[in-house]
Amino acid sequence: MIKRILQHPYCIRGVLFLCLAVACTVGLFFTFDLTDERVKPAAESSDIPLSARIANYDEVIASIRHGLRYHSQAITVRFSYGQNIQKDIAAVVGDWVEEALQETEESTEGDYIRYQYGGYRINCSCDRSIWGRYRYTVEIIPEHYTYLAQEEEVTEALAEIEAGFGFTPDTSDYEKIRTIYDYVCTNVKYDTVHKNNAYAHLRSTCYAAVMWHTATCQGYSVTLYRLLRDAGIGCRVITGTGIGVDSSQEYHAWNIVELEGNWYELDATWDAGKESYRYFLRGSGNFSDHIPGKPFTDNDFISKYTISTVDWPCSENRKE
């Protein structure tokens, strides 16, 4: 396994990263014990989803989020329950993780985690106490696209980049968005080498975009997300289908951004290296070659992030 990792095309400094990752992540096994008294009986909460029947639900979600953010190798939740729910554990954990991935005030949570990890595996064991209650140990094992040491490098590099923007309290949100968009479009090139390598997960990360200046669409999107959120600008990553000039279709990622109470679309991947921008602060009427997938077409998402039907004024030819 180690030999395979070190031979990976993205492991230019593989030995260093492997050693740092082990040093930084060993011991990050978050365990949450839920005692009998802290679990609501099913009979008292039959209308509440099974995943939310735990009395200290918010603490569980916060622990899972913390484990994902800080690259825990495993997140363990222990609890007891009056019924055998082992067949429902996958759905329960799915609900917990989805809630942990919701947007927060932190630029390193929400979509930044969601689009830089490849899901998780579950290990679950169960025994029965002498009092008849079922005792569960659920282990959530995430697949992170980066090591914690790499994320620390990114944070340090972004601090230097953001200082160079020279934003002040008088800098408008539009100026922030344009400056950050210009930076990403100018400094990141599309990674054609690893585009079709399903194992080259770094291609889809902020690390690749910031440290190596090359990434695929997901790497562009999470980088723009991180920089804009750091600047106090509302932003989301959107995934779906991109339609090429030859009508070809493929998986694609882009962003939406909030500006003066309205949401607009951005695609730094397709504007990268261009002298003028075609996909900067566009309304839905001029973004028809981007087809959002679920859940971005659900009513709840649309009502919360309603895209302007018209472009932001002067959204073309943004680069000087």
Over the stretch 19-72, which tens digit does the pLDDT of each residue have? 222 222 333 344 444 443 444 433 345 577 888 887 788 999 999 999 999 999
Task: Look at residue 126 and tell me whether its pLDDT is greater than 80.
Answer: yes
When the pLDDT of each residue in the chain is averaged and rounded to a whole number, the result is 85
Top pLDDT among 220 and 29 is at 220
* Whether 162 and 286 share a structural domain: yes
Residue 271's contacts (CB-CB under 8 Å, 6 or more residues apart) are: 181, 185, 277, 278, 279, 280
* Whether 129 and 175 share a structural domain: no
Among 12-16, 101-105, 169-173, the minimum mean pLDDT is found in 12-16
Longest Cα pair distance anywhere in the chain, in angstroms?
A: 74
Give me the amino acid identity at 258: E
Do the domain assignments include residue 318?
Answer: no
Do the domain assignments include residue 310?
Answer: no
What residues are paired with 77 via a beta bridge?
32, 138
Alpha-carbon dihedral angle through residues 196, 212, 113, 34, given to the nearest 10 degrees: 110
* Whether 20 and 137 share a structural domain: yes
Do the domain assignments include residue 319?
Answer: no
Residue 137's H or E segment, with its range, is strand 134-144
Round the CA-based radius of gyration of the chain to a whole number and report it.
Answer: 22
Do the domain assignments include residue 317?
Answer: no
| Residue whose token pair is 């106490």 | 129
Instruction: Give the three-state DSSP class for 247.
Output: coil
* Whether 185 and 235 share a structural domain: yes
**The pTM is what?**
0.84
- Number of domains within the chain: 2
* Whether 27 and 63 share a structural domain: yes
* Whether 177 and 292 share a structural domain: yes
* Whether 72 and 36 share a structural domain: yes
* Whether 107 and 177 share a structural domain: no
Domain residues for the domain of 31 are: 2-144
Do the domain assignments include residue 314?
Answer: no
In this prediction, residue 13 carries a pLDDT of: 33
Within its chain, how far is the Cα of 3 from the centroid? Answer: 29
Give me the amino acid identity at 67: G
Do the domain assignments include residue 50?
Answer: yes
* Whether 84 and 170 share a structural domain: no
Residue 255's H or E segment, with its range, is strand 249-259
In this prediction, residue 20 carries a pLDDT of: 25
Residue 197's contacts (CB-CB under 8 Å, 6 or more residues apart) are: 9, 203
* Whether 209 and 118 share a structural domain: no
Angle between helices 89-100 and 57-69 (to 10 degrees): 70
What CATH code is carried by the domain that includes residue 234?
A: 3.10.620.30
In this prediction, residue 317 carries a pLDDT of: 55
Tell me the CA distances in angstroms from 166 to 233, 248, 251, one per residue in order: 16, 41, 35
Q: Where are the alpha helices (H) located in 188-314, listed in sequence order?
A: 206-207, 217-230, 268-271, 299-304
Among 8-12, 194-198, 291-295, 306-310, the minimum mean pLDDT is found in 8-12
Do the domain assignments include residue 320?
Answer: no
What is the spatial distance between Cα 249 and Cα 241, in angstroms, rounded to a whole number? 6
Do the domain assignments include residue 316?
Answer: no
What is the spatial distance between Cα 116 and Cα 67, in angstroms, rounded to a whole number? 14
266-310 residue pLDDT tens: 999 999 999 899 999 999 999 999 999 999 999 999 999 999 999
